[in-house]
Amino acid sequence: MELHLAFDITAKLALIVGAGIGAQWLGWRLQWPAIVLMSVAGLMLGPLSALVLGEPLIAPAHDFGDVLRPAIALAVAVILFEGGLGLRFSEIRATSGAVLRLVLIGAPLGWLLGTGAAHYAAGLPWDISALLGGILVVTGPTVIIPLLRQARLSARPASVLKWEGIINDPLGAVFAVLIFEFITIGSTLNAHEGGPLSAVLVLIIAVVLGALAGIAAGYALALSFRRGWVPEYLKAPLMLVTVMVVYVMAEIIANETGLVAVTALGVTLANVRFAAIEELRRFKEGVAILLVSALFVTLTAGLTVHDFASFDWRVLGFVAVMLIAVRPLVVWIATFGSELNWRETLLIGWIAPRGIVAVAVAGYFATELAAAGRADATVLTTFVFAMVFATVLAHGFSIAPLARMLGLSHSGPEGLLLVGANPFTIALAKTLVEVGAPVVLADKSWQNLRRARLAGIKVFHGEVLSESAEEKLDHAQINWLLSASSNEAYNALVCIEFAPELGRHKVFQLSVHDDPDNGEDSIVFTARGRTVMARGRNYNSLIRDYWQGWRFHTIELDETHDLEAAIAGLPDNAELVAERGLGGALALLGPSRPPKGGAGNVLVVFMPGATDEN
């Protein structure tokens, strides 16, 4: 019986994690908000399965018992650390004035107005209202960034929405954690007949202690990495263990200060320079996605019929006030006099989807406060769930048509970022532009870009891996990447950097070896982009062929001249480079990516004896 129970719990854990990650993948595949699919998965495993089977497949409180609360606490600690690790002060200074205003003015104002809405529209106590207002300051970068890609917004509103979400994510967590500390510490003091002044004093001491513990741990961890005291393969695991240790130690030193400590730890590591920070960010993103997915499914599966019955007019009224009044007012006040025009202000004032982090934090706070005797705090989960669903659905389905109506979206063919200006890439960019595919050619040398600028090709002068490129490049127009500089390692680094944004299947580089049979020995395939054209066609061979008279040629396919006939008419050594589809779709071709063909598609071929003008 014990063996069966152990297997049963193991199976349920696997089911939760599998459902969460499966929902994330399906959201990516269908271009739907993953949070909606994770909610459906959680409801199917919880209350919906109970209606069909008589009992839920997953009942978190019953299945995991006393382990559930500490497990959720550690998961939220890692999530808040991940949020703190995204708050870099240099990025705040580098952002536009509108973003700074939304952070410095909009976030506190949104907290205050959200608190007022929760108290007056929903009738919640002031302290719970302040906690709810702090949680909902977060605009959910994990939700907003996919929406921006879907809507293909213009550069300025897309940049403002993206950076607001990134920076406000940890700020909202800090606001919520401070109020949570005040409620819990105040409740403890009130039980011992302490006054409000004592509660504030203890809160300040607890926050300072927690912050100092996180900052000290952050500097110690960064120092150990800099001095080489930790091998590379242990850095990411040590960082994760440090988060957990700091959380537990802060809780021992001063109860309920662990979340402050881990947030301070993340902010400290984000702003202390050391070489491994980017690799660690990728690791923590993977861990955070895993934890958030599992936590969200668990919290959703734990909902009951009573929770759904609590979705009354108070909840609807609060959501309506937040969407229609609070958000537009915050944006209008915060950005008044900035560089934004009225159309951009209107769009930004409407779009503010809340995400998974808000639900995870709210679920944890509600559980902890209920255990501390604040039964009224359980409504936090209801209100935050309602807000998340309302904003994700309303903003997810409205952002694209609203952006088109306001003239703030890009419509048209898919674009290519071409890194490295040389005769081959300039000729390729010119050919692609002629067949209707937008191209941005990037290089650090004005001299290298000179011919491209004279040919009317759009160029980016600067380092594509720099922080300034993140702000200046119009990512809404970039769907594909080809890094074709003379440096193989640099090409691989560029592909690795852009793979999370574009998808690894859309980042390409030249082959890294002259000998196709010797393949990809110099750089392992997992640490580079996909190969464009044939293996063995590296920078040197392409430039050599270009100067020997090879040029780009375009072939338009139709019913009488199909793909098979077009390829049969090419020289044996011709290289298929790209294919432009009828609807503006673009595809780079390679060893494992042949052209699809079809009437109206255009093939771009690199071959001897052709001319750029064809």
Q: Is 588 helix (H, G, I), strand (E, B) or coil?
A: strand
- What the block records as the tokens of 132 is 């709810």
Q: Which of 475, 408, 407 is nearest to 440 (CA)?
A: 475
* Residue 204, pLDDT score: 74
Residue with tokens 């819990």: 184
Q: Is there a single domain that holds both residue 459 and residue 360?
A: no
Residue that terminates a domain, selected from 375, 405, 435: 405
Confidence of residue 508 (pLDDT cuts 50, 70, 90): very high
Q: Is there a single domain that holds both residue 202 and residue 308?
A: yes
C-alpha 552/C-alpha 272 separation (Å) is 48
Q: Is there a single domain that holds both residue 341 and residue 478?
A: no
Q: Distances in Å between the alpha carbon of 601 and those of 558, 562, 573?
A: 8, 10, 22
Q: Answer whether residue 37 is part of any domain.
A: no
Q: How are strands ordered across the β-sheet holding 530-531?
A: 458-461, 439-443, 416-419, 480-483, 507-509, 530-531
Confidence of residue 30 (pLDDT cuts 50, 70, 90): confident
* Residue 568, pLDDT score: 85
- What the block records as the tokens of 135 is 């949680």
Q: Answer whether residue 564 is part of any domain.
A: yes
C-alpha 198/C-alpha 186 separation (Å) is 8
CATH number at residue 294: 1.20.1530
C-alpha 461/C-alpha 558 separation (Å) is 39
217 neighbors 265 (Cβ within 8 angstroms): yes
Q: Is there a single domain that holds both residue 120 and residue 265?
A: yes
Q: Report which DSSP code applies to 605.
A: E
**pLDDT per residue over 389-443, tens digit each?**
888 788 878 888 888 888 887 666 788 999 999 999 999 999 999 988 889 999 9
Q: Answer whether residue 65 is part of any domain.
A: no
Residue that terminates a domain, selected from 405, 440, 474: 405
- What is the DSSP secondary-structure string of 452-510? HHHTT-EEEES-TTSHHHHHHS-GGG--EEEE--S-HHHHHHHHHHHHHHH-GGGEEE-
Confidence of residue 117 (pLDDT cuts 50, 70, 90): very high
Q: Is there a single domain that holds both residue 293 and residue 334?
A: yes
Average pLDDT taken over every residue of the chain: 80
Q: Answer whether residue 210 is part of any domain.
A: yes
Q: Is there a single domain that holds both residue 469 and residue 360?
A: no
Q: Is there a single domain that holds both residue 449 and residue 487?
A: yes
Q: Report which DSSP code applies to 216.
A: H
CATH number at residue 502: 3.40.50.720
Q: Is there a single domain that holds both residue 367 and residue 424?
A: no
* Residue 210, pLDDT score: 81
Q: Is there a single domain that holds both residue 463 and residue 339?
A: no
Count CA atoms closer than 13 A to 238's CA, side-chain side. Answer: 15
Q: Answer whether residue 528 is part of any domain.
A: yes
Q: Is there a single domain that holds both residue 366 and residue 421?
A: no
- Which residues face 607 on adjacent strands? 551
Q: Answer whether residue 48 is part of any domain.
A: no
Q: Distances in Å between the alpha carbon of 529 and those of 95, 437, 520, 541, 589?
A: 29, 21, 11, 19, 13
71 neighbors 63 (Cβ within 8 angstroms): no
pLDDT at 84 over 80: no
pTM (2 decimals)? Answer: 0.65
Mean pLDDT of 345-357: 84
Q: Which domain holds residue 171?
A: 72-405
Q: Is there a single domain that holds both residue 350 and residue 401?
A: yes
* Residue 535, pLDDT score: 75
* The total number of structural domains that make up the chain: 2
Helix axes of 141-151 and 155-191: crossing angle, nearest 10 degrees: 160
* Residue 93, pLDDT score: 59
- What is the DSSP secondary-structure string of 273-340? --TTHHHHHHHHHHHHHHHHHHHHHHHHHT--HHHHHT--HHHHHHHHHIIIIIHHHHHHHHHTTSS-
Confidence of residue 188 (pLDDT cuts 50, 70, 90): low
* Residue 256, pLDDT score: 60
**pLDDT per residue over 584-613, tens digit each?**
888 898 887 888 888 888 999 999 875 544
Q: Answer whether residue 206 is part of any domain.
A: yes
Confidence of residue 375 (pLDDT cuts 50, 70, 90): confident
Q: Above pLDDT 90, what percent of the chain?
A: 12
**pLDDT per residue over 289-326, tens digit each?**
788 788 878 878 887 766 666 677 888 899 999 999 99
**pLDDT per residue over 160-176, tens digit each?**
887 787 777 666 666 77
Q: Answer whether residue 364 is part of any domain.
A: yes
* Residue 2, pLDDT score: 42
Contacts of 113 (CB under 8 A, 6+ apart): 133, 326, 329, 330
Confidence of residue 233 (pLDDT cuts 50, 70, 90): confident
* Residue 516, pLDDT score: 45
Confidence of residue 61 (pLDDT cuts 50, 70, 90): confident
Residue that terminates a domain, selected from 343, 375, 405: 405
502 neighbors 478 (Cβ within 8 angstroms): yes
Q: Is there a single domain that holds both residue 369 and residue 503?
A: no
